[in-house]
Structure 1
Amino acid sequence: MAAKGKQTSGRGQRELRVRVKTAKGRKLSSTRWLERQLNDPYVQAARREGYRGRAAYKIIELDDKYRFLRPGARVVDLGCAPGGWLQVAVARVNALGEDRSKPVGRVLGVDLQEVDPLPGAETHVLDFLEVGADDKVRAWLGGRADVVMSDMAAASSGHRQTDHLRIIALCEAAAEFAFDVLEEGGTFVAKVLAGGAESDLQARLKQRFTKVANVKPPASRADSAEKYVVATGFRLAPAEPEA
């Protein structure tokens, strides 16, 4: 992975930074966003290494630490567009079978929009909240998943607390979906926003997983409130007794 430090012109010299002038008709906020993109080492690395977005480095860093994308794993990526997380999963679970000494995994992505085809990944247009979505995913996979991951974020309202509540609700829905499709011992990874309303989600995850960690990977921008929950060791619910 590319170095995370800021680009410099040499030891002891000042940082090289691209500055963008505000064009006529363009908002200052847009100029600041463009300047941040041009100077973001993860954006630069993604372009250089062929990833579909800087978010790919978040799942790389999380998997480097928790090792859930193992060769042979069956992975479901919720809200997978544009496909950066899929790219990482394909390589790490050996979905293309390029390493013949290791088992071949499966990578399945679902999103509300079409996703550009990606070798080694199967994608579907699907609202994971719809009734029967879990049955469709299990059928596509031919069984249960080893990993359910989500980098989804609710549309921003501009109000921090409202956005926090929205993304927590989305993460809770993703967790419930994971409960329906994960295999025993599976892993759930999802984005949340720090803000104080996560206690119910944490309690629910701790009921169904042996370990629940909260982490902010280095690729998450320092000024962002996002963090990721990584829940490992999924426990299937005991079967209900027959009547």
Structure 2
Amino acid sequence: MKKILSSFIAATLIAGCSSSVDTSNFTQMSQFSGGQRTGDATSYYWYTESASQALSASDHVTSETYGWYETSYRWDEGSVREVVRKGEQLKDGDLVPYTAHVRFNKDGEAVYQQYRVNKKILPLNEGQLERYVLEAKAITKMTKDQNKQGLELIQGYWDGSTFERCNGPDYNKVEFNHTLPNFVMSRLSTLDNYIGFLGKIRNNTVYIDELLILADDDHDCIERPLLITE
């Protein structure tokens, strides 16, 4: 560590002696997260931008009826240029695996597409292609709108007295939205649970605004899908 620090200081001094540091190439990355519950489907969202320009997004969507999927989206020069999705969908009464991979050119035309359902290669129609792009854009709007309300996607484990955030610290102060149903409040007060919700953390207190998922404590934390290789 000392060698690394010394090298960094030396490099900084040399740069300072030769010329002023050019910060024009440094851009700030902004990270957003959010989610929603619609019917029996629960969605987690993540979005990244730089200098107000979209870079990437991801989703993880589960439905008690229709299966699940997760997606990665990539932008370039303001347009959605690549989408990769994998999951399971309902087909003939069974859940079968599927994957989709689409690349778009700068004019929004699909120049590459591969869609597999249960190992069979099928075509994607224009409606499906358009839906991928619309879903990507919807993620950017929803996560930024929720961020303006001070909300973010938070996951962790609650034992009735302590909230252990996924990959984060523990919190002893938790405030629940009073509109939660009584049976939910009862379960939260008596059982160990995994919870995913829209909320915020302020002054070492966790505020749960909208509960998205309530599950047993053996439920894994859901990480942001990264399906597109750089």
Q: Which TM class, normalised by the smaller chain length?
A: under 0.3
Greater percentage in helix: 1
Greater percentage in strand: 2
TM-score w.r.t. the length of structure 1 is 0.24
| Structure number with larger C-alpha Rg | 2
